[in-house]
Structure formats: C-alpha cells, structure tokens
Amino acid sequence: MSNFINSLLYGFTNILSVGPEQPIEGQAEQEGCSGSNGEGCCKNRESTATAEQSATRAKSGCCQEESAGDACCSSSSVALDGITATTISATKREDGCCQSTTGKSSCACESASNEPVIIENLKIIFSTLTGTAKTMAKEMQDKIEANDRVTVHNVKVMDVTEYDNDNLLQETAICVFILSTYNVEGPLDWFSNWLHDLRYDFRVDRDALKKLRYAVCGLGDSAYGDEFNVAANNIDKWLGRLGATRIYPLGECDKNADQKGQFDVWSNGFVSELEDKHSLEFSPTNFAFQSDDEDDQESAGEEEGGQPDINIDENGSGDEMVDLEDMGNMASKIKAAKAKRAEEEEDFEISKAKAKRLIGTDVGNKPKTAPQAREMVSPMILKNLTKQGYKVIGSHSGVKICRWTKSALRGRGFCYKHAFYGIQSHLCMETTPSLACANKCVFCWRHHTNPVGTTWRWKVDDPQFILDGAMENHYKMIKQLKGVPGVKAERFQEAFTIRHCALSLVGEPIFYPHINEFVTKLHENNISSFLVTNAQFPDKIAEMVPVTQLYVSVDAATKDSLKKIDRPLFRDFWERFLNCLEQLSLKGQRTVYRMTLVKGHNTAEIDGYVELIRRGKPSFIEVKGVTYCGYSGASDLTMANVPFHVEVIDFCRQLVAKLDGDYEISAEHAHSCSLLIAHKDFKINGEWYTHIDYPKFFELVKSGKSFTSLDYMAKTPDWALHGHEAAGFDPNETRHYRKNRKTVVPPTIPDMTTTA
Ligand SMILES: Cc1cc2nc3c(=O)[nH]c(=O)nc-3n(C[C@H](O)[C@H](O)[C@H](O)COP(=O)(O)O)c2cc1C
Ligand code: SF4
C-alpha cells in the first residue's frame, strides 16, 4: 500500500474528525480495506473508532462506517482514481463500496486486486422484429469479450424464440435480456406468456427462479405512451418476483430519443458491474416476495388467495398483539399497508390488462370488462403506409397502384401475369383486406409498417365497404396518372373498369374474417380474384370459396430456412405450412406455388421443393428472382442475393427434372426474372393453355356447380412461351429501356441451350 493512500486516508479521517489518529492497519494493505489481520479494517476500526463511530464489514469486504455517511467512499475513490480529494466525489453503493462519479471502476477494495472476475456462462437473449435488439445483443457480446477485467468463458447470443423456457428454472448462466416491446403479437409473447403464468400460478414456488441472475434492457418507443417498454418492464418485474437476482437495473431505451446512446450507457454500466464479483452474488434482498419492490411483500399472498403477512380486516385492524404505546405507530403502518395493497392491486390489474393486450390471452381470475377491439392500423402505421403510396381503407385494408399499371397505361408492357395468364395490368387492382399478417418475411418487412398477429383482434370492416373504398381509391390514383407523359387515352379509359383483383399487396388477405364474402362480391362484379396466402392458416384455405387462382407463397423448402426467410410468428409454423399445402391439393380450382428465389438463402433446396410440390400438387409454380429495393436494417439482403434470369431458368430446369415428367417450364417473363412451370394437364396436343377464360370462370361460379381448373383455361400466346425470342414481352407493346442502364454480365450456366 502506498504512502500516498495512507496519507490520504489519514488526512481524510482527520478532516472528518471521526477516524483513528493513526493509519488503519487493515486498510494499509495492498488488498484495500480488508486487512491481513482477519477482520481487517472493520475490526481495526471498531477498536480504534469512538463508540459512535463503529464500522461494520460490508458484503464487499469493505469497511463501512456507520456514522460517517459517505466519508469512506470519498477517500477510497480518491485513492482509486488517483486524483485529489477535492476534485472527485463518490457515493456509497448498496454493497458499501464506493462508486466514483467519474464513471471509472468503483471500489478501492476491488480495484486494488488485478485478478479478473471469472464467469462461466453468460447468455444474451434478445427478442426482435426489426433487428435492433439483435444488433445490440451482438455489440454487447463483443464488449464483454473485449473486457480484460472479466473473463467469461462462454458468451452466447440467442433469440428468445430459440430459448427453451423450462431451462430458466435451472439456468446457471447469467442471463441478459434485450427485449423490444410490440403492442401487437411478436416473438416475445410466448416467453412473456409463460413467465406471466409462472408468476401468477399459486402452485409455483415464489423463489422458483432463485438460481437465475439476470438483467433486462428494454427497447421501445416513448411515442407509445404508457406502453413504453411494457414488455421489458413486466419481464424484469416477474423475474425478480420469482426469486431471480437482478444484477443490474432495468434499462429502457427509447427509439424516440437516442436509443443507441442509451443502450451504450446501459451496457457499459452492466459490463462494469460484472467486474465486481460481489454484485454477481445471489442476493436474498431480491428474493421473491421481497423482490423488486417492497409493495409486493404484502400483496403476494393475496393474489393467489394465500395469507398476507399481516392480516388486516375491513376496519383496518391487524390481528397481531400490539403494545398500547405502539398503537399510534401501528395504526399508521396499517394505513400505509392498506394503501400499498390498494396500489398493488391496481398495479396488478394494469399489468393484467397490459399483459392481456400483449399476449392476446386472458390472465388472472378477475377479468374486467372485455377490451374494445382496436384499430389494426395505428396512426404511426398509417403515416408510414401513406408515405409508401398505400391508400388505407377503413381500419385494416389497403390499395396501391403498382408500377406495371403505369407502364400498361403508356403502352410499355404488362407484368408477368399478362404473359402467364392474360391479365392486362391497367385493368388490375392490387389490394388487401388485411394489412396484417403472421410473418415478417425478409423481403417484405423492410418498412416495419404492417402489423402482425396470429389471431384477428381488430375491428372488422364490412366487405362491401372495403370493395367500394378500394375501387374508389384505385380510380382516384388512375386519374392522377392522366398527366403522365405517354399515357394512351384508350388505355386510360379502359382502366376505369377493373377486371382483375390481385389480393396480394402486403399482409394476409385470408386473415380477413369475411374474405369469402369479399371474393364473392368481386366475382359478382366480373372481377377475377388472384389470392395469395402465406400458408399459415390451413383452416382458412379449406373454407375458401373458389377463387380464380389461389396462390401460396413457398419461400423455402425446409423448416429452418422457412423460419429464417418468413420469420413466422406461429411456433408450429412448419406444420401449418405443410397442412396448407395439403389443403391446396384438395381445391378444385387453379392453384399456384409462388416461389421467390433469394440467392444464398433458398436456391439450393431442390429436393425439399420437390417434396413440397408432390404434397400440394399445384397447377402451376411461379418462380421469380427476388427484387432488390434497398432493404433496411430489418433484412440483410443485398444485390448479391438477387439471381440473374439465367440462374432462375437453371433452377427451374433442375426442379422440373426431378418432378417425374409431371411438370414443364411453360412461359416466361424475362423482364421480371419470372418463369412459369405448369402441370402437363395444361398442355393439350402439345400446346400450352396457361391463360384463363375469365368470362367462362364467372359463368362457372354463377352456375353454383362444382368445376375444375381445366374448365376455364385458355391458350397461351406464342410470345409468352419459354424459349420464344420475345421472352414474355407482348410484341404489341413498345419496349422502353432506362437511360444509363448498367449492363451486368450474367454468369454462364453450363448447358443452357436446351430447355426443359
Ligand atoms: C408495430 C409496432 C408496435 C410497437 N409497439 C410498441 C409498444 O407498444 N411500446 C413500445 O415501447 N415500443 C413499441 N414499438 C417500438 C419498438 O419496440 C422499437 O422500435 C424497438 O426499437 C424495435 O426493436 P427491434 O428492432 O429489435 O424490433 C413498436 C413498433 C412497431 C413497429
Ligand atoms: S407474408 Fe406477405 S405481407 Fe406478410 S411479410 Fe411476407 S411478403 Fe410481407
């Protein structure tokens, strides 16, 4: 121990006039407060200090003066930071150690030792929809691994959906939770639901999580008012109340402010805390009903119908024996206890209401009035969707003009549906009666706008209202295009009679509770229906009335890659997906698999796709290269993931080769990197019939009789066939090339001269 510290301590105790006249023997050792004489400074101090100035040993091993307030802290921190006593202040922490306000390491006792703290396992568990929590979890991992004062043998970053909840009861790793709050269903719900049940299940021990040490940091947005970080708050509270030891306070980072900066401050603080091995000790003060707030002590027994610590009757009197002179004190204690309990009850009701909204299930045993169904589209989502060009109809539907409509109005070509099925883009309305869906696909969830959910929990608009609103808004948008140079008057006029409806914009149309009525109304208006579902609602597919063409998105061929690409909310997403394909095989009308190839993600799973095709027996398989449109942080896709047209062709050839001769590549639309694989049922006398006889379809629907896909097919024009030089571009249209278009040389695929 240097004379410097000795003299500081000596000088400091003199200033306060409470310390010994001589330097304290124990504190004069290299280890800091704890001296070599067994009890160290405390004993020493007790023996030298006056009766009023006795000291006790804090958990840290540090000597804590009972009467000197923060005195020792100041002196220790001075010693620690190596600056003079007047320039630095410090406060005493709960464990009796000194925390310097400079933010440097804390206690003289600890800092004197250079031994790093050793931690065996640490898990950083995140929940995220748009990626922020995951990024922060990884940053935290780096920070911990780079810290040489703490050695953590195994730092693991994992998604909360991969964590087996039951492990929490035996968890020996320190767990850091970085959790984003969503007021819609999300990946945290299952964990949150489970933990909530554990917390309020009377059969579960109040210290069920006593083996767990944890810290929670929430990511949220203060624009959500009292729902700001509600999930992290609840989880932090429930963990504490189940006996887990909170080793660092809850962090709350706000997207509406400097969320990243706030997280950095929190994570730095947490990592410094790891440097203090005493703060990692299991702390009985955190246990169960004495856990994270004192109020919980008394209410804990009541919620489960057990006995509270003090029985208080209607009149507020306890049944404990009380001395007369203590009556005054006791009365005020009882009053305070009653008030606390009322507060706690209120808190519990609020938590229940919030949890209910968060997890979509009823919790607790005294439900209040049923919550009002809320609007699916919040003002924030509305703002974002509007910015992206969507017109929102009512509270859950949307319509948008696609770029091909504009192109068709100018005579510059139609989308791939023209080549494959005879649809003219300027006669087509793209809409959805449900902006919400049960996935967060990497290639769609880029603007973080559409709401997600596994059950419909919103207000329901009437189908006629949605159809009227969609058509009205569609026509308004068409009108706005009349000033666009090159718009052909004839096409402009035609566009005011919608002939087709693509139910595929964003979201999950089949989710809408009145989808059958909606589709029926389309058909009554001679509007064809192309409905795309993301294959998560098999019952809905089974209940679906005939549509002109029913699609399922098949974004991956294996459970793992489907999870990565579609990021489904359902835990049994794979079973749901397979079930949907089976339901599809039972439909009589035209069915289509829509496959979006994302290079490096789903292009190498040919055998898996073959199995899926055998299961669902679709009439057609549309294969399209993913379109790159500047993905944000929610997705790590780049141009490198966008396949060339030749690569899409190569993929289709490989696929067809394994389908026992049942399917062939029929049509193509090179412009959008799309190919159509068709079942050979649609090849009559060597000619393809992939197009649709729309009037015939309406006739069949109106007849009320059952019919099949083969009853309303029409011949495919030559220019649309795969291998034709037009490559799916209608020769009656004018091809338009963008100026300054970069020519990128596609890769050479061996044996591309023969077509399947
Ligand atoms: C649909 C939606 C709902 C949200 N709901 C809440 C909420 O109820 N409370 C809150 O604090 N933040 C809410 N947020 C904000 C997110 O929690 C915040 O943006 C967070 O940083 C996202 O983190 P992530 O990228 O890890 O998913 C919501 C965001 C979206 C897009
Ligand atoms: S299913 Fe559709 S709307 Fe939902 S995330 Fe995927 S692409 Fe987007």
Gap from CA of 448 to ligand 2 centroid (Å): 11
Gap from CA of 514 to ligand 2 centroid (Å): 20
Would you say 388 and 447 are in contact if contact means Cβ atoms under 8 Å apart? yes
Provide the pLDDT confidence category of residue 378 given band limits of 50, 70 and 90.
confident
Dist. CA 59–CA 165, nearest whole Å: 32
Would you say 516 and 433 are in contact if contact means Cβ atoms under 8 Å apart? no
Provide the pLDDT confidence category of residue 264 given band limits of 50, 70 and 90.
very high
* Of residues 334 and 585, more confidently modeled: 585
Gap from CA of 513 to ligand 2 centroid (Å): 18
pLDDT tens readout for residues 406-445? 999 999 999 999 999 999 999 999 999 988 877 777 666 5
Q: Which ligand is in closest contact with the Cα of 137?
A: 1
* pLDDT for the residue numbered 249: 83
Atom nearest to 134 CA in ligand 1? 26
Q: Which ligand is in closest contact with the Cα of 218?
A: 1
Gap from CA of 381 to ligand 1 centroid (Å): 11
pLDDT tens readout for residues 577-586? 999 999 999 9
132, 180, 185: residue to mutate for ligand 1 pocket, most atoms within 8 A of CB: 180
Q: Which ligand is in closest contact with the Cα of 552?
A: 2
Mean pLDDT lowest among 13-27, 123-137, 471-485: 13-27
Gap from CA of 359 to ligand 2 centroid (Å): 21
Q: Which one, of 204, 279, 280, 194, lies nearest residue 243 by Cα?
A: 204
Provide the pLDDT confidence category of residue 457 given band limits of 50, 70 and 90.
confident
* pLDDT for the residue numbered 333: 47
Gap from CA of 441 to ligand 2 centroid (Å): 5
* pLDDT for the residue numbered 67: 37
Q: Which ligand is in closest contact with the Cα of 441?
A: 2
Gap from CA of 452 to ligand 2 centroid (Å): 10
Provide the pLDDT confidence category of residue 88 given band limits of 50, 70 and 90.
very low
* pLDDT for the residue numbered 5: 33
Average of per-residue pLDDT across 345-372: 41
Would you say 556 and 603 are in contact if contact means Cβ atoms under 8 Å apart? no
Q: Please state, in angstroms and as integers, the Cα–Cα distance from residue 136 to each residue in 125, 126, 273, following that order.
A: 11, 9, 18
Secondary structure element (H or E) that encloses residue 358, with its range: helix 327-359
pTM for this one?
0.53
Dist. CA 125–CA 168, nearest whole Å: 12
Residue 654 has pLDDT above 90, yes or no: yes
78-83 long-range contacts (CB < 8 A, ≥24 apart) are 78/8, 78/12, 79/4, 79/5, 79/8, 79/9, 79/108, 80/104, 80/105, 80/106, 80/107, 80/108, 80/111
Atom nearest to 438 CA in ligand 2? 4
pLDDT tens readout for residues 562-574? 888 778 888 889 9
Closest protein CA for atom 16 of ligand 1: 220
Residue 347 has pLDDT above 50, yes or no: no
Gap from CA of 182 to ligand 1 centroid (Å): 5
Average of per-residue pLDDT across 477-484: 85
* pLDDT for the residue numbered 377: 75
> Residues enclosing ligand 1, CB less than 6 A?
128-133, 180-184, 219-221, 224, 227-229, 255, 448, 451
* pLDDT for the residue numbered 667: 96
Dist. CA 642–CA 627, nearest whole Å: 7
Gap from CA of 180 to ligand 1 centroid (Å): 6
Provide the pLDDT confidence category of residue 91 given band limits of 50, 70 and 90.
low
Dist. CA 437–CA 454, nearest whole Å: 7
Gap from CA of 465 to ligand 2 centroid (Å): 24
224, 356, 567: residue to mutate for ligand 1 pocket, most atoms within 8 A of CB: 224
Closest protein CA for atom 6 of ligand 2: 441
Q: Which ligand is in closest contact with the Cα of 577?
A: 2
Gap from CA of 567 to ligand 2 centroid (Å): 10
Gap from CA of 652 to ligand 2 centroid (Å): 23
Gap from CA of 480 to ligand 2 centroid (Å): 28
pLDDT tens readout for residues 660-670? 999 999 999 98
Gap from CA of 438 to ligand 2 centroid (Å): 8
Q: HEC profile for 214-252? A: EEEEEEECHHHHHHCCHHHHHHHHHHHHCCCEEEEEEEE
Residue 53 has pLDDT above 50, yes or no: no
Question: From the CB of residue 373, how many other CB atoms can be counted at a distance below 10 Å?
Answer: 12
Atom nearest to 254 CA in ligand 1? 21
Gap from CA of 220 to ligand 1 centroid (Å): 5
Average of per-residue pLDDT across 683-703: 97
> Residues enclosing ligand 2, CB less than 6 A?
437, 439-441, 444-445, 450, 506-507, 534
Atom nearest to 504 CA in ligand 2? 2
Gap from CA of 255 to ligand 1 centroid (Å): 8
Q: Which ligand is in closest contact with the Cα of 223?
A: 1
Residue 61 has pLDDT above 50, yes or no: no
Atom nearest to 567 CA in ligand 2? 5
Closest protein CA for atom 9 of ligand 1: 228
Atom nearest to 532 CA in ligand 2? 2
Q: Give exposure, 22-33, as e/b (b: 16+ Cβ within 10 Å).
A: ebbbbbbbebbb
Q: Which ligand is in closest contact with the Cα of 553?
A: 2
pLDDT tens readout for residues 194-232? 898 888 876 678 888 989 999 999 999 988 888 899 999
Largest CA distance in the chain: 112
Secondary structure element (H or E) that encloses residue 432, with its range: strand 428-432
Closest protein CA for atom 1 of ligand 1: 451
Would you say 656 and 595 are in contact if contact means Cβ atoms under 8 Å apart? no
Residue 27 has pLDDT above 60, yes or no: no
* pLDDT for the residue numbered 456: 80
Dist. CA 130–CA 118, nearest whole Å: 34
Is residue 479 classed as helix, strand or coil in its secondary structure?
A: helix
Provide the pLDDT confidence category of residue 743 given band limits of 50, 70 and 90.
low
Residue 108 has pLDDT above 90, yes or no: no
The whole-chain average pLDDT of the chain stands at 74
Q: What six digits make up the tokens of 408? A: 């068709």
Atom nearest to 449 CA in ligand 1? 31
What is the chain's length?
Answer: 756
Q: Which one, of 396, 392, 463, 465, lies nearest residue 435 by Cα?
A: 396
Closest protein CA for atom 7 of ligand 2: 444
130, 430, 439, 565: residue to mutate for ligand 2 pocket, most atoms within 8 A of CB: 439
What are the structural domains of the chain?
Answer: 3-107 (no CATH), 117-292 (3.40.50.360), 297-356 (no CATH), 388-720 (3.20.20.70)
Atom nearest to 448 CA in ligand 1? 31
Q: What percent of the chain has pLDDT over 90?
A: 40
Average of per-residue pLDDT across 343-362: 42
Q: Which ligand is in closest contact with the Cα of 257?
A: 1
129, 233, 452, 567: residue to mutate for ligand 1 pocket, most atoms within 8 A of CB: 129
Q: Which ligand is in closest contact with the Cα of 626?
A: 2
* Of residues 460 and 635, more confidently modeled: 460
Mean pLDDT lowest among 69-83, 141-155, 189-203, 423-437: 69-83
Q: HEC profile for 21-87? A: CCCCCHHHECCECCCCCCCHHHHHHHHHCCHHHCEEECCCCCEEECCCCCHHHHHHHHHHHCCCCCC
Average of per-residue pLDDT across 279-293: 50
Dist. CA 456–CA 515, nearest whole Å: 13
Gap from CA of 440 to ligand 2 centroid (Å): 6
